[in-house]
Amino acid sequence: MPAGPWGQAPPAPQAPAPRPQPRPVGLTRTDFIAAIRRNRRNTALLCLALTLVGVAAGGGIGWAFGVLADPDPASPLPPMFLISGAAAMLAFSAVWTLIAVFAGDRIVLGITGARAVGKDEAPVLHNVVEEMALAAGLPKPRVMIVETAALNAFATGTRPEKAAVAVTRGLLNALGRDELQGVVAHEMGHVANNDVLYMTAVGVLVGLIVVASDLALRSMRFVGAGGRRSGDSRKGGGGAMVLAAILVLLAIGLLSPLMARVVQMAVSRQREYLADATSVKLTRNPLGLIGALQKLDAAPVRWADASRAVQHLFIVNPFKKFAADASALMATHPSIEQRIERLKALG
Amino acid sequence: MSTTGWIVVAAVAFVAAAVVVLYNALVAGRNQVEAAWRQIDVQLKRRRDLVPNLVEAVKGYMGHERDTLENVIKARNAAVGAAGGPREGQIQAEAALSGVLGRLFALAESYPQLKANENVMQLQEELSSTENKIAFSRQHYNDSVMAQNTRVESFPAVLVAGALGFAKHPYFEIAEQDREVPQVKLR
């Protein structure tokens, strides 16, 4: 045996130190009704903040257009355009939010082709949904099935009283009762945590910011002509104003959608972890959901004709095959390995 | 008014507002516990209704288990008698019924003829699903009780809770002897 530098055998290679266990998310709460109240408040605040960002972007674009149309610093156009841009943004966001909140569940159910089933048609599914509603202390949601071989599930409804839980036929056939209970509890978790309202609101406002940025970028092609024309015919102040307008448009066009999407996806992933934790709290049995996630991961059938508009609603993303890189900034869901790891930490 | 006067007024207003907020939170918590209890009650009633049907259906097959069947009926009748009475008595009677029903289910495993009877199988499925629902609504009741008891005992609510008529609620627990695994004799 080779001696070490101090005449001893070298120490055996140590096993890598165990990774610090991730902190369970939101597990201390057992009072869902209070949690929903808190969540509503957070949603309102977040919506207000994102609306302000959207209105500011609308105003900025309006102002920049005004400057480009008439770079004279004394011109009345820029402030007029600023106000009308902001007002248009506000009106647009109000209408869009109303549609999303009041018709969102019908739109989602229509897009996915989910169909309500009676208790005689799917007795076990009905029993499991009712059990989980009792565990959460919430009204029993509508029970729906999507006729596809893919393995997936989702919840919708912006209020617990209007909620629906849908599972695919493939999932119903592939999972045992405990695993089905874990999945249904995850969806009940989305309902209990009011995630549908939360993500609908975030989705609307992010969409709005993306539209604004698109507008800003499209307008850039007119800037070249406008800038040159103003350079020789106007006073020096106009040139600086035009430069500022171009910078504002560029900032709105390039940065805001990126930031908004990153925030949205981070929120989405956090809500998935929270729903997993809620699922365990309802069933008191992490093994059911772990088994279900493993089967979902191994399933060969992806849901090819699912719509991207609703991908964040599902229990696993219907498009991506999850690998280690799935936790990239733009993923709607954490990777299944990471979710299972956290679930094991709970058990 | 003097500065001191204003300070006193502000302090009184602050305390009054704090009591109002505390009181409303305590009322909401108590109502949630009551709603949770009613959910259990619905399931318990369903079980009390299902039990005689099941006993009637298995009597022909399980003649040797007359003691167990009589115990089930006795426990069921005791639960019916306790319904509507004080909550502690109800909890005890229903927990006893859970215990004897568990024993009956375990014994039924050794009667393969029962599995061939569709009526019995349906009743057993309904009853075990009801058992699940009782378990989950009890879990929600206990969660709500824990939240409310924490609220009642927390500072500063503990100063006013008693005076305002808020007490701790009892947990729905299963008695010690009912948690024992039923003895299954091989014959």
What local confidence, expressed as pLDDT, does residue B177 receive? 47
d(CA B148, CA B26): 7
Predicted local confidence at residue A302, as pLDDT: 65
- pLDDT of A112 strictly over 60: yes
pTM: 0.74
Question: What is the tens place of the pLDDT at every residue in B22-74?
Answer: 899 899 999 999 999 888 888 888 889 888 888 888 888 887 788 888 999 99
Angstroms from B121 CA to nearest CA on chain A:
14
Region of poorest pLDDT, from A267-271, A310-314, B22-26, B45-49: A310-314
- What pLDDT does A25 receive? 44
Structure-token pair, residue A338 = 């990471």
Q: Is the per-residue pLDDT at B12 higher than 90?
A: yes
Supply φ then ψ for residue B85, to 5 degrees: -85, -160
DSSP-derived secondary structure for A309-341: GGGGGBSS-SSPPP-GGGGSTT-SS--HHHHHH
Q: Which residue has the higher pLDDT, A38 or A143?
A: A143
Query: Are B144 and A34 an interchain contact pair (Cβ–Cβ within 8 Å)?
Result: no
Residue A10 above 60 pLDDT? no
Residue B143 has pLDDT above 50, yes or no: yes
Using alpha carbons only, what angle is made at residue B11 by residues B7 and B15, rounded to the nearest 5 degrees?
175
pLDDT at B150 over 80: yes
pLDDT mean across residues, chain A:
77
pLDDT for A143 equals: 95
Average pLDDT for residues A84-110, to the nearest whole number?
82
- pLDDT above 80 (res A39): no
Over residues A335-341, mean pLDDT = 83
Contact list, A135 vs chain B (CB under 8 Å): 136-137, 139-140
Of residues B81 and A264, which shows the higher confidence score? B81
Nearest to B155 by CA among B22, B28, B13: B22
For chain A, say whether B46 makes contact (Cβ under 8 Å). Answer: no
Which residues are A154's β-sheet partners?
Answer: A166, A314
Q: What is the 3-state secondary structure of B71-139?
A: HHHHHHHHHHHHCCCCHHHHHHHHHHHHHHHHHHHHHHCCCHHHHHCHHHHHHHHHHHHHHHHHHHHHH
CA–CA separation, B61 vs A280, rounded Å?
A: 40
More confident residue, A201 or B49: B49
Q: Is B39 on the interface with A (CB under 8 A)?
A: yes
Tell me the residue length of chain A.
347
Assess B146–A contact: CB distance below 8 Å, yes or no: yes
User: What stretches of chain A show up as alpha helix (H) in DSSP?
Assistant: 32-69, 77-112, 123-136, 169-174, 177-192, 195-233, 236-283, 286-298, 336-346
- Specify the pairing of strand A142-146 against strand A164-168: parallel
pLDDT of residue A185: 94
Q: What percent of chain A has pLDDT over 90?
A: 15
Distance to chain B for A34, nearest Cα, Å: 9
pLDDT at position A12 over 50: no
Does residue B12 sit at the A interface (CB-CB below 8 Å)? no
pLDDT at residue B149, as a whole number:
92
Task: Quote the minimal CA–CA distance from B36 to chain A in Å.
Answer: 7
CA distances from A13 to A4, A5, A8, A16, A111 (A): 13, 16, 14, 9, 56
How confident is the model at residue A236, as a pLDDT?
Answer: 53
What pLDDT is attached to residue A180? 94
Confidence of residue A248 (pLDDT cuts 50, 70, 90): confident
| Residues of A designated catalytic | 187
Taking CB atoms and an 8 Å limit, are A137 and B136 in contact across chains? no
Give me the sign of the Cα torsion angle A76, A79, A83, A89: positive
B36 → closest Cβ in A34, A127, A137:
A137
Check B32 against A132: CB less than 8 A apart: no
Beta bridge partners of A165: A143, A155
pLDDT-based confidence at A63, cuts 50/70/90? Answer: confident
- Mean pLDDT along residues A160-185: 91
pLDDT at A171: 92
B149 at A interface, C-beta within 8 A: no
Percent above pLDDT 70 for chain B: 93
Estimate the crossing angle of helix A236-283 against helix A195-233, to 10 degrees: 170
Q: Identify the weakest region by mean pLDDT among A128-142, A223-237, A256-270, B139-153.
A: A223-237
| pLDDT value for A133 | 92
Instruction: Identify which of B6-15, B91-100, B176-185 has the greatest average pLDDT.
Output: B6-15
